[in-house]
Amino acid sequence: MVGILTAREFFITTMNNSSRSLRRPWSALCISREACRRFRTLGTTTSHVINVGQLCNFSSSDKDGNAELIMVDSIPTLYKNQPLRHSAMGADVNLKRLVSKFASDPSSSLSAKNDSSSLSGFTNQLDGLLLPTHFGKKRKTAHMKKPNFGQSYSTSAGANYNSYLSEDLSKVKGFDICFSGSKRSDAVQYLNAVLSTGTCSHKFEASKCVLRPGMVLLKNHLTYEEQVEIVRTCRTLGVGPGGFYQPEYKDGTKLDLQMMCLGLNWDPKRLTYEFIRSVDGCEVPSIPRPLFCQICDAMANANRLFEKEDELFEKEGEDRLPFLIANVCIVNFYSAATGRLGLHQDCSESRRSLNERLSVVSFSVGDSAEFLYGDERDECKADKVILESGDVLLFGGESRHIYHGVSSIIPNTAPKKLLEETGLRPGRLNLTFREA
């Protein structure tokens, strides 16, 4: 039940009370920490304001209990008090339309008339409103060739490439998830060799399935363009301050992956979240706005699936995925050779987030992973699913506290086109979003 408007400094999200986990109708204007600070000092005209961590929600509802898009004064009056009349899952579509209109309407750019001087700092941030390019865009079916698992190639470039598979990433300083320069051309040469073998299979039908109550896998949910953008964004952030590093637990054991956190930092030594990264004192980069749209889209899609099941089996909807307002994104890069993550529960989040069993949303990009999940910390008893590039996995509600982990990365399984276009190293990028 969500629509989202991405601008440079804020986004809008609405839900209605058919989202049972939420149990109250609301609509919200959520803004970045920086804008939020300004907002707090401004006051608003909305019925009530709730502060959730670094986000502000402004909420109200119409008499039917549906969400109403309430704009605060700094937002153009154009859509003020326009009720979103919709039933259940139509909300996101309507709001997207509304939001597109809002974003494309020249009269919606904030005029000085409406602005008190104290608002101008914030309203400046609304200039150049941008809708993410993937909004409402039709999914393209990619026809890409893909090698069989474990296939080996005997070109000299192939040999080079395979040697990167066993590269010891702990020695890489300022870790770059992508190749550049001559390494990149070697990799491309290798990929061309792979593509010309003709042994690759097609894939990429978007599909979805409920793996267990509260756990949904959206196959090939992220478009190819989104995957490219995710690699590029993570690469840029990853080489900067607060970027990728190889973390370790309290006992000094290193994790078999490179990690970077966005929004808040997760400290594997203390198993808590922090604003400043204790390992090196770096500030934590923000979560890039387009990712919020993708999370919301995935949540809405997953819950739609539950709704269908409910209709089919006349159930009451207790399997739904409680909605999160993500303020943390943990980005892991697993090398194809050694990347793994033992079975664990995600339990560093706040008591509220855990008690309400708010969903964790996970994006996979690059090589496929063998993902294990189950009720016990026992790999033998765990179920296994392959997560491929573009897949989105959600677990919340009844499945929020499952044990899960990555037993291995399957080499040579990333979409070749993605590797060619981005230079992504052999391995897998995983982004998990949570509400801390």
Ligand X SMILES: O=C(O)CCC(=O)C(=O)O
Which positions lie near ligand X, rule CB under 6 A?
Answer: 330, 332, 341, 346, 362, 369, 371, 404, 406, 430, 432
> What's the min distance (Å) between Cβ of 346 and Fe ion?
4
> What's the min distance (Å) between Cβ of 286 and Fe ion?
21
Looking at the Cβ atoms of 200 and 321, the one nearer to Fe ion is 321
Q: Compute φ and ψ for 374, nearest 5 degrees.
A: 180, 180
Rounded Cα distance between 336 and 234, Å, is: 17
13 binds, among Fe ion, ligand X, none (CB under 5 to 8 A by kind): none
Residue 95's contacts (CB-CB under 8 Å, 6 or more residues apart) are 2, 3, 4, 12, 14, 69, 84
Chain-centre distance for alpha carbon 99 = 21
Residue 42's contacts (CB-CB under 8 Å, 6 or more residues apart) are 74, 118, 119, 122
Element (H, E) at 196: helix 181-196
**DSSP assignment letter at 382:** -
Residue 5's contacts (CB-CB under 8 Å, 6 or more residues apart) are 11, 12, 99, 102, 103, 129, 131
Instruction: Give the residue at shortest CB distance from ligand X.
Output: 430
> What's the min distance (Å) between Cβ of 23 and ligand X?
27
Q: Is 344 annotated as a binding residue?
A: yes
332 binds, among ligand X, Fe ion, none (CB under 5 to 8 A by kind): ligand X
57 binds, among Fe ion, ligand X, none (CB under 5 to 8 A by kind): none
Looking at the Cβ atoms of 62 and 370, the one nearer to ligand X is 370
371 binds, among ligand X, Fe ion, none (CB under 5 to 8 A by kind): ligand X
Q: Output the DSSP codes for 144-164.
A: ---PPTT----SHHHHHHHHH
Quick one: which of 137, 435, 175 has its CA closest to 290? 137
> What's the min distance (Å) between Cβ of 386 and ligand X?
11
Rounded Cα distance between 398 and 137, Å, is: 32
Q: Compute φ and ψ for 61, nearest 5 degrees.
A: -150, 160
Tokens 């964790």 found at: 360
Looking at the Cβ atoms of 10 and 403, the one nearer to ligand X is 403
Do residues 79 and 102 make contact, with C-beta atoms less than 8 angstroms apart?
A: yes
Element (H, E) at 267: strand 265-267
> What's the min distance (Å) between Cβ of 41 and ligand X?
36
> What's the min distance (Å) between Cβ of 371 and ligand X?
5
> What's the min distance (Å) between Cβ of 348 and Fe ion?
10
Looking at the Cβ atoms of 67 and 393, the one nearer to ligand X is 393
Q: Which residues bind Fe ion (CB under 5 A)?
A: 346
Looking at the Cβ atoms of 186 and 346, the one nearer to Fe ion is 346
Q: Is 404 annotated as a binding residue?
A: yes
Looking at the Cβ atoms of 28 and 387, the one nearer to ligand X is 387
Look at the alpha carbons of 146, 152, 155, 159 in this order and tell me if their dihedral is positive or negative.
Answer: positive
What strands, in cross-sheet order, belong to the sheet with 392-395? 207-212, 215-219, 392-395, 360-366, 427-434, 328-335, 258-262
Give the type of residue at 274: E
Q: Compute φ and ψ for 349, nearest 5 degrees.
A: -75, 170
Chain-centre distance for alpha carbon 173 = 26
What region does 411 belong to: left with phi over 0, alpha with psi -120 to 50, or beta? beta
Looking at the Cβ atoms of 9 and 349, the one nearer to ligand X is 349
Looking at the Cβ atoms of 135 and 403, the one nearer to Fe ion is 403
Looking at the Cβ atoms of 308 and 344, the one nearer to Fe ion is 344
Show the DSSP H helices in 317-434 as ranges.
351-355, 416-422
> What's the min distance (Å) between Cβ of 97 and Fe ion?
35
Binding residues for Fe cation, by number, are 344, 346, 404
Binding residues, by number, are 344, 346, 404
